[in-house]
Amino acid sequence: MCLNTRRGISEVISSLLLFVIALAVLVIIATSIYGYYTNAISYVPLFFHESKLSMLEKLKVVYGFYEDGTVVLVIYNYGDIHTEISYIVVDQKVYLATDFITDTEVKAGEIKVIQFELTLDQGIHVLGIQGRRGSKSTILVKVQ
Amino acid sequence: MSRRRGSTIIALSIITIIAFLIIVSMASIIISGMSDLLRTQLNVFDEETERMRENIEVEAFSSGGKIGLCINNTGTTTILITYVVVHDVSSDDISIYNVMWALDTGEDLTEILEHEYPSPGSMVKCVLVSSRGNTWQITIKG
């Protein structure tokens, strides 16, 4: 009769081994959760920061006129932050500002004159701009 | 049996503590962001209220061939005129003058612009711009 005389590992070693394995699994899970959490949480202050900036952006068309196929708009940034003109609105149509002008930046407290070629029919037209963070301003322009 | 229960309690305690820390850190970030946003919003409301209280009356006159402006602050707050935009209608020239004219409530101010007064038959439009974004337009005929 052949009996298996090999002895198993002791209770202490097996407990330690199990503990180390459990700890390793825990560390892996915790690291992945922590990575996901820090990634997700990093967007929260960014969201608040962007919301704050959108409140501080203030662009206004202070004057405008149309003459010989050219639209002239005087834009004032009376907000606390530098910004850019993203869109130009002509009546119901929205154009990218870069379609008409190259320098779209308006610094805080700066007044800027932009002019671009556009054909408008006789009558009253709504011309407007929209800033990078959503501030809008319009002006009525009469075309003779 | 009791040893296993003890391990379960310890594991649950660790998970609860971690969850609590995550919730607390998230809440602190959200609360600080919200309070900052609210403070900004209140400042914006204050500025908007002040903006609505601004009002001026402007009259133009010729002073030595230059444009003179007589401004009366008829609003209920102090005003800072930051720019004067002058549009020469006949030539379509736009001139911008960076000025710093401060007016207290009810105060009168007379200033001379370094811009030629329009000759007879011509016309210019002056737009006064305040630091809070209000504008007042005056047409000057020569």
Domain boundaries, chain A: 11-41, 57-143
Residue B105, SS3 per DSSP? coil
Residue B74, SS3 per DSSP? coil
The question of ipTM being above 0.95 is answered as no
Looking at the structure, give the CATH architecture of the domain made up of residues A57-143.
Sandwich (2.60)
- C-beta neighbour count of B75 within 10 angstroms: 20
A29 touches chain B (CB under 8 A): no
Residues B105 and B123 in one domain: yes
Residues B32 and B58 in one domain: no
Upper half-sphere CA count for residue B122 (Cβ side, 13 Å):
12
* pLDDT tens column, A49-102: 999 999 999 999 999 999 889 999 999 999 999 999 999 999 989 999 999 999
Chain B residues 45-104 with CB within 8 Å of chain A: 82-83, 85, 87, 92, 94, 96, 98
CB contact under 8 A, A60 and B135: yes
CA distance A1 to chain B (A): 38
pTM of the model: 0.80
| Per-residue pLDDT band at A4 (split at 50, 70, 90) | low
Q: Which residues contact B42 (CB under 8 A, 6 or more apart)?
A: none
Residue A10, SS3 per DSSP? coil
Q: Which two three-digit tokens encode residue B8?
A: 């379960």
Query: What integer pLDDT is reported at residue A35 of this predicted model?
Result: 87
Which helix H or strand E contains A32, and what residues bound it?
A: helix A11-41
Q: Please, are residues B138 and B125 in contact by the beta-carbon 8 Å criterion? A: yes
B123 touches chain A (CB under 8 A): no
